[in-house]
A and B are shown apart, each in its own frame.
Chain A
């Protein structure tokens, strides 16, 4: 069992994935540790007077003031870049170069047989950093998984600063002041992006079939899965056979997607309103809609994974031109 895992992990091009996992876990721990520490300091500091001579710059100042340990409170707030920062950068550069050298001497970059368009390897895999996208092909058609969703990821990242109207947490670690933003980022990055890469690398064997880590990659394994579409699924559980027609599928699909985004945006809105939260007013309708759209587009991936794996549902919407 370990043999197979080790065989995949020790492929030269897969070593970076193992490294990435360790690094991501380490920095995940580090940033949350720093965030919780700051939150604790902040809570303890609430109500304490500002240090002497400190001019007030609103809310943010008191956090940072107390983030310095007691004995450093009196020290100047700024230091010379030369030598203090340049020195650190130099040490860091030497460490990275050393690591790179030690990595490059024993481990050779892979070089396989000359390319041959008649010999398709099974499985054929994209470079590891795109395996998340390739694995999405299981759940979405190529025009969504390969084109639309990557575009949305890029645009979605770009709009983050413009839709995050929370003025707190600017320039220091904190969790308590922006839990929603941090949870969404970690879900997208850690759970979806990184985990999909791991699945794509370690669990996808011949024919892109799913194998548990350690399971032998048997190309002749037969997987009998009969996938049905959303309207057929509804017809089966409700017993109304009329739902199985193409038109019904089209209408049901459109309705479902509209309802998904519509309810996905309306329900939190109403809930926030009942909580008398000011967030929706600060966001405004357009920004709220943008956040909602990208959030629910992202959540469509795990939802489709569950629908597929648990209920064998393939498409939500079937049209003559494209399927979703």
Chain B
């Protein structure tokens, strides 16, 4: 009785113009519909309609690229919510962390998820790269996609690094101080690097100054880290990701010699 009613409701939904306008395919499990499920969906059509059977094995890809992308999405999602509450200036930044801890609904879990997903993403990117290397998937015709991948690797690390400063606590402050101190030593462009002094580079016009917006890690550095972290680098990463996924498909799907 109940199942009959459910069947009836299903028929109504599937037969409706709204359903058809969105999915444009029948509901039955036919070979044609299986293909259309992929082709008719902008998100799923990142996939080809058919995959090689061995690509389903766990050992083939470890799922690592996909997991990395999932974590990237989680980071975008939780990041937007963090942005609602966070002010990138020396007065508010640390205070906002305390708000997350004591005031914001689910603020603690939100911040934890953002941080742990970020750490995890660094690890999964390395593992994904290792998988691609071990299966020789950078070989022709996939050479260029490997290069795109290296850009993504660097972006992932830099995203994580710029985010580290934002809580404006001792941990992030000194980690970023140590990190950007290396920029002082850049050959030619840093004021402590080889030939920097000879070229008239000082602490006030070298590459570290450009990164920090000052000669110390202060308010300007916080703002720059924030803009890189929340706008410039995610957008860049999304562009590279689009190329990466597109190339993976155009190069014949995940590698396999069939």
A residues engaging B (CB < 8 A)? 13, 16, 19-20, 23-24, 27, 30-31, 34-35, 57, 60-61, 63-64, 67-68, 72, 75-86, 88-89, 92-93, 96-97, 100-101, 103-105, 107-117, 119-121, 124-127, 129-130, 133-134, 141-143, 145-148, 154, 157-158, 160-162, 164, 166-174, 178, 181-182, 185, 189, 321-322
Contacts and interface: CB of A to CB of B under 8 A. Distances in A.
A110 B67 CA distance: 24
A79 B50 contact: yes
B242 interface: no
A145 B182 contact: yes
Q: What are the 9 closest A-B residue pairs judged by CB atoms, nearest first?
A: A146-B182, A115-B173, A161-B143, A142-B185, A171-B255, A322-B194, A104-B112, A109-B115, A143-B185
Nearest to A65: B258
Contacts of A27: 62, 127, 130-131
Interface in B178-226: 178-179, 181-187, 190, 192-195, 198, 216-217
Given A85-B56, A130-B179, A171 B161 contact: no
A34 B58 CA distance: 11
Given A117-B217, A173-B59, A112 B171 contact: yes
B230 interface: no
Contacts of B112: 103-105, 107-109
A129 B158 CA distance: 11
State the main secondary structure of chain B at its contact with A. helix
A30 B142 CA distance: 23
Given A110-B169, A142-B182, A170-B255, 7 more contacts: A85-B51, A88-B63, A109-B115, A111-B101, A127-B175, A158-B147, A164-B139
B31 A80 contact: yes
Contacts of A146: 181-183, 185
Interface residues of B, number: 97
A129 B122 contact: yes
Interface in B68-116: 70-71, 74, 94, 97-98, 101, 108-109, 111-116
Interface stretch (B3-11, B12-20, B32-40, B231-239): B32-40
A281 to B, nearest CB: 19
A205 to B, nearest CB: 15
B147 to A, nearest CB: 5
Contacts of B133: 160, 181-182, 185
Contacts of B120: 16, 19, 100
Contacts of A119: 170
B161 A130 contact: yes
12 contacts: A61-B257, A77-B53, A79-B52, A81-B34, A100-B71, A104-B112, A110-B171, A125-B178, A142-B181, A143-B190, A147-B185, A173-B135
A129 B170 contact: no
From A75, A105, A160, name the one whose CB has the most chain B CB atoms within 10 angstroms: A160
Interface string B140-152: 1011101100100
A57 B257 contact: yes
Contacts of A130: 157, 161, 179
A143 B131 CA distance: 32
A67 B54 contact: yes
Contacts of A108: 108, 112
B70 A96 contact: yes
Contacts of B258: 61, 64, 77
